[in-house]
A and B are shown apart, each in its own frame.
Chain A
Amino acid sequence: MRIYHELNMKPLHLISVAITALLIGCYQSEEPVTTKTATIVNPPIPLAELSLVQHNGTAFDHTTLQGKWTLMFFGFTFCPDVCPTTLQLLALSLQKIEQSGIENAQVVFVSVDPERDTPERLEEYLAHFDEKFIGVTGELTDIESFTQSIGVVFAHNSLDESGFYAVDHTTVILMVNDKAELGGISSAPHKWEDIADDFMTVRAQ
């Protein structure tokens, strides 16, 4: 059984809808900017207000995003396959971004499994990939309202024999600009070089 933490109990593609609308509405007259795989959100969409917690215990809200350019990914630390794979790619992407002289880039991993992903656990987990990564957790309802506002869905599966449960989740990587607005979306399958290049393209907009 899968319970979608979503209004209509099924995945809606708010982001796709938003983008399609934007593309039709606004993008036609602009000069096309080419990305490798990511979709540019133009004009950028302000993120909804959020009140979550960083792995170091401090608040995670718009002020954490302002002044920085962020790659944001959603997952859970008990995920053995997709999340570690993606975090590893993001570590390489961040390295490439930083090597090209960008100093205000950050990677944020938002947990969709806050019951298990405490700040302490996130800190230990993320340091394995890159000590600069920011882990974000919080009350389930606060995470839900944030993910719903940007079209990210997740669903907790039922327990298996060993007491483990997996969490289905959207695999997009969001590119958030320095005004806490959604500026780009990268969909799976992810390639670290493309993520870095597209991030820099979105940033140069």
Chain B
Amino acid sequence: MKLNNRYYALLCGLTFVSLSCAQQTLEVLEPWVRIPPPGMNMLAGYGEFTNSSNSTIELVSAQSENFKSISFHISEIVDGISKMTKLESVLLRPGETARFEPGGKHLMISTPQYDERPEQVQIEFLSVSGKRYQVNFVFLNSEP
């Protein structure tokens, strides 16, 4: 039997299975997108992604109605040279945390679709198994 999230939440609420309730998801701590300089169409998003479920989560894509496209990237310094590489997916084993931070893993966000920048934007992540996770990112000038 497969329960969708809403039924599961309801079930948890009713039966006080709080432990398993709290452990059903992907948690993102301090999700933020860097406020871009004017005219800048490439943005970066950050946050601490933790898999608090009991199964592996492999994020394969991200999207938002506020942006044209979003992909996973990593900046690395190799021999003193900064390089940016696209990551095909982000794998999180149960309990594992991936830090997306300036100069490291980041969401590479292209082309805002809004006229006026909102305070926050929702980004939806899709896992390889078809699960969707919505996360609200706030706009900030620097790391919270």
Q: Residues of A with Cβ closer than 8 Å to B?
A: 11, 13, 16, 77-82, 84-85, 88, 121, 124-129, 153-155, 157, 160, 162, 164, 166, 168-172, 187-189
Contact = CB atoms under 8 A, between A and B. Distances in A.
Interface SS, B side? strand
Contact of B75 (A81, A160, A162, A170): A81
A197 B43 CA distance: 30
A80 B42 CA distance: 5
Contacts of A127: 37-38
Question: Number of contact residues on B: which range applies?
Answer: 20 to 34
Contacts of B86: 160
10 contacts: A13-B80, A77-B37, A80-B36, A81-B102, A81-B106, A82-B82, A82-B84, A88-B141, A128-B37, A164-B42
A97 to B, nearest CB: 19
The 10 closest A-B pairs by CB, nearest first: A128-B37, A85-B102, A80-B42, A80-B44, A168-B83, A81-B44, A171-B82, A125-B37, A166-B84, A82-B82
B81 A84 contact: no
A77 B106 CA distance: 17
A78 B73 CA distance: 15
A169 B36 CA distance: 20
A122 B73 CA distance: 25
Interface of B: 34, 36-44, 68-69, 73, 75, 77, 79-84, 86, 102-103, 106, 108-111, 141-142
Contacts of B109: 80
A82 B38 CA distance: 17
Contacts of A164: 42, 110
B80 A124 contact: no
Contact of B81 (A77, A121, A153): A153
A168 B40 CA distance: 18
